[in-house]
């Protein structure tokens, strides 16, 4: 339990009593929270702690390698990390190397920005068959995430099913159908490039349980698929007939994306067949009921046709009793991500988020146990929105922090004690400079083979590459403070 009895007489956020905040997780929401704290107008010291030796979370390991512009958000985050008030602690796992209560005893504020690191399950028969994969694992694998490097994906099949109508599903369709020579120039993991080179995929079936109006993918992502020279997107005109509630949804505020999607889908439905070597079939109102195969290997996906019921804006898929199947050797479940429980922190396991009010866990007089503890990003609101959504989300959380400053004013030693504690525990900390060194090597290796970067997917290789002075025992690097990020790679 963290004691909050002793108070400091100097107001918190002054030069002589800076607000000491630590952010757990260095993905977009973590970095946007860091930026909002720096911009708050108060004197702050901001520490960012990260499980992997590499920063940027979803930007590095979630955004598709061909989405170069989206990935360039890491340049903005690099700028934030180089602010003298920021210190990065890579390769440190909260809940293992140090726990949340310990962080709360060292810092005035702990912001959890741990994202969504597990998959929603379908809970149907055959989910464990070989050939059935979780989207998150596939995305991590082609992006060189150290947790997924050892996975194997067999793409030597003509037909693939992707379940879910979100942007992750679209990313997977695009990756599977993009010419290999285009991918070769990106920072896609080498092991993925080799498997995609062997791919025999000719058709991808993208299956959603609701209708075209309820699809969660965004027009920009759909348009990219539709405009691809390499693939034809095939939509049946019957799938685009709408019930009155769907028509009403299209006239409701916020229907802009759905209207644009419908326009694109209608154009696809009118298209005559072309000479593309690959096809993506969009299926609507089909819900998966089971996957079956022989010798524990997938060869068929079973579905039940759905009809939409409920008022406009709240329509749900209801089974009709009519079934259908799709033959496939490979299937990706892309039905959304969820957060996971952090020891000592409340968790809503049905939603996969930490329950909070505008990012605050403990309000004075409300839940005193959690005063000083905040959340932001996907662990706060669920896996929704685009990268930029996290900026407003983190600003909302930091607004609560600023409003709470008076209640947070108890002595906290911050990074000096964190450094001592991690040194005592003999943890190897990867500083931001160490990361810049790793990044420089990745770029050099990539340029040598015509890629933007060749990602290092092994944590042990990254740790051996960073020089001896990046260890927790050396405050110059681990406790970078003013020089953090300014000193160039070793
Ligand atoms: P998502 O947008 O929530 O889509 C999940 C899909 O899975 C929905 O179509 C949902 O259908 C379906 N689904 C859920 N449970 C199901 C079940 N039991 N059976 C059948 N279908 C089921 O999730 P996501 O695609 O993983 O994306 C996560 C977030 O990342 C989104 O905000 C997305 O926009 C973002 N993202 C953005 C980009 C980009 O900007 N380029 C790229 C990738 C991801 P219902 O609608 O019926 O629930």
DSSP-derived 3-state class of residue 300:
strand
Tokens 């005193």 belong to 368
167 pocket-lining for ligand 1 (C-beta < 6 Å): yes
Q: How far apart are CA 459 and CA 146, in angstroms?
A: 6
383 CB less than 6 Å from ligand 1? yes
Count CB atoms within 10 A of the CB of residue 297: 12
From the CA of 387, give the closest atom in ligand 1: 40
- Using a 6 Å cutoff on CB, does residue 336 contact ligand 1? yes
CB of 44 closer than 8 Å to CB of 17: no
For the residues of 406-441, what is the DSSP string, one character each? GGG-S---THHHHHHHHHHTT---B-HHHHHHHHHH
Q: Report the separation in Å between the CA atom of 195 and the middle of ligand 1, taken as the mean of its atom positions.
A: 25
Concatenated DSSP letters of 50-72: -SSSS--THHHHTS-TT-HHHHT
Ligand 1 mean position to 421 CA, how many Å? 40
Q: What SS3 class is residue 266? A: helix
Q: Tell me what pLDDT residue 1 has.
A: 41
Q: Which of 204, 201, 199 is nearest to 161 (CA)?
A: 204
Whether residue 38 contacts residue 85, with contact meaning beta carbons closer than 8 Å, is answered with yes
The response to whether residue 165 sits with its C-beta less than 6 Å from ligand 1 reads yes
CA–CA dist 18, 37 (Å, integer): 12
Atom of ligand 1 nearest to the CA of 389: 32
214 lines ligand 1 (CB under 6 A): yes
What's the gap in Å between 339 CA and the centre of ligand 1?
Answer: 14
For tokens 């990361």, name the residue.
435
165 Cα: distance to centroid of ligand 1 (angstroms): 6
Task: State the pLDDT at residue 63.
Answer: 97
d(CA 223, CA 312): 25
Distance of CA 202 to the CA centre of its chain: 29
Q: Is 393 in the pocket of ligand 1 (CB under 6 A)?
A: no
Residue 393 Cα, ligand 1 centroid: separation in angstroms? 19
Cβ(94)–Cβ(48) under 8 Å? no
**From the CA of 306, how far away is ligand 1's center (Å)?**
18
Between CA 298 and CA 288 the distance in angstroms is 14
Q: Is the separation of the CB atoms in 78 and 72 below 8 Å?
A: no
Q: Does residue 282 have its Cβ closer than 6 Å to ligand 1?
A: no
Q: How far away, in angstroms, is 136 Cα from ligand 1 center?
A: 11
Give the Cβ contact number of residue 220 at 10 Å: 12
Q: How far is the CA of 334 from the centre of ligand 1 (A)?
A: 7
DSSP string, 181-249: HHHTTTT--HHHHHHHHT----EEEEE-SS-GGG--S-HHHHHHHHT-TTEEEEE-GGGG---HHHHHH
Q: Which residue among 28, 60, 216, 304 has the greatest number of ligand 1 atoms within 8 angstroms of its CB, and so is best to mutate?
A: 216
Question: Of 29, 61, 70, 167, which is best to mutate to test ligand 1, by the most ligand atoms within 8 angstroms of its C-beta?
Answer: 167
Q: What is the pLDDT along the chain (490 residues), one digit of tens a residue?
A: 444 444 557 899 999 999 999 999 999 999 999 999 999 999 999 999 999 999 999 999 999 999 999 999 999 999 999 999 999 999 999 999 999 999 999 999 999 999 999 999 999 999 999 999 999 999 999 999 999 999 999 999 999 999 999 999 999 999 999 999 999 999 999 999 999 999 999 999 999 999 999 999 999 999 999 999 889 999 999 999 999 999 999 999 999 999 999 999 999 999 887 778 899 999 999 999 999 999 999 999 999 999 999 999 999 999 999 999 999 999 999 999 999 999 989 999 999 999 999 999 976 666 568 999 999 999 999 999 999 999 999 999 999 999 999 999 999 999 999 999 999 998 999 999 999 999 999 999 999 999 999 999 999 999 999 964 454 444 334 444 333 433 332 2
Helix (H, G, I), strand (E, B) or coil at 24: strand
- 164 CB under 6 A from ligand 1? yes
């Amino acid at each position: 339990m963290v004691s909050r009895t002793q108070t400091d007489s100097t107001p918190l956020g002054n030069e002589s009593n800076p607000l000491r905040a630590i952010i757990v997780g260095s993905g977009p929401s973590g970095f946007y929270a860091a930026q909002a704290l720096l911009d708050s107008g108060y004197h702050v010291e901001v520490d960012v702690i990260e499980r992997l030796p590499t920063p940027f979370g979803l930007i590095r390991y979630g955004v598709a390698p061909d989405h170069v512009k989206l990935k360039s958000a890491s340049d903005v985050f690099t700028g934030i990390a180089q602010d003298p008030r920021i210190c990065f602690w890579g390769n440190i796992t909260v809940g293992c190397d140090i726990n949340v209560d310990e962080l709360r005893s060292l810092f005035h504020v702990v912001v959890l920005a741990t994202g969504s690191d597990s998959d929603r399950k379908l809970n149907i028969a055959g989910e464990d068959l070989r050939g059935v994969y979780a989207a998150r694992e596939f995305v991590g694998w082609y992006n060189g995430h150290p947790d997924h490097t050892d996975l194997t994906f067999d793409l030597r099949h003509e037909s693939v099913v992707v379940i879910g109508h979100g942007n992750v599903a679209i990313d997977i369709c695009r990756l599977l159908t993009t010419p290999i020579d285009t991918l070769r120039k990106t920072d896609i993991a080498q092991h993925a490039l080799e498997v995609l080179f062997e791919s025999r995929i000719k058709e991808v079936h993208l299956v959603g349980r609701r209708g075209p109006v309820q699809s969660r993918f965004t027009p920009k992502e759909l348009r990219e698929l539709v405009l691809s020279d390499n693939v034809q997107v095939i939509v049946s005109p019957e799938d685009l007939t709408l019930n009155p509630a769907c028509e009403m949804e299209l006239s409701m505020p916020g229907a802009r994306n759905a209207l644009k999607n419908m326009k694109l889908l209608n154009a696809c439905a009118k298209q005559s067949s072309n000479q593309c070597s690959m096809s993506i079939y969009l299926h609507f109102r089909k819900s998966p009921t089971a996957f079956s195969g022989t010798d524990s290997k997938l060869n068929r996906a079973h579905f039940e046709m759905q009809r939409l019921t409920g008022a406009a804006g709240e329509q749900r898929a209801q089974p009709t009793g009519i079934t259908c199947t799709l033959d496939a050797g490979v299937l990706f479940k892309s039905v959304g991500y969820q957060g996971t429980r952090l020891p000592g922190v409340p968790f809503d396991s049905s939603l996969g988020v930490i329950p909070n009010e505008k990012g605050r866990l403990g309000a004075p007089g409300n839940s005193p146990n959690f005063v000083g503890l905040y959340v932001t990003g996907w662990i706060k609101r669920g896996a929704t929105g685009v990268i930029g959504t996290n900026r407003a989300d983190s600003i909302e959380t930091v607004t609560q922090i600023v409003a709470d400053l008076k209640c947070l004013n108890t002595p906290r030693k911050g990074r000096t004690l964190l450094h001592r504690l991690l040194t005592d525990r003999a943890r190897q900390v990867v500083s931001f400079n160490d990361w810049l060194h790793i990044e420089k090597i990745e770029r050099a290796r990539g340029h040598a083979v015509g890629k933007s970067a060749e990602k290092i997917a092994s944590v042990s290789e990254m740790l051996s590459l960073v020089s001896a002075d990046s260890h927790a025992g050396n405050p110059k690097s681990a406790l970078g403070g003013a020089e953090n990020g300014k000193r160039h790679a070793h």
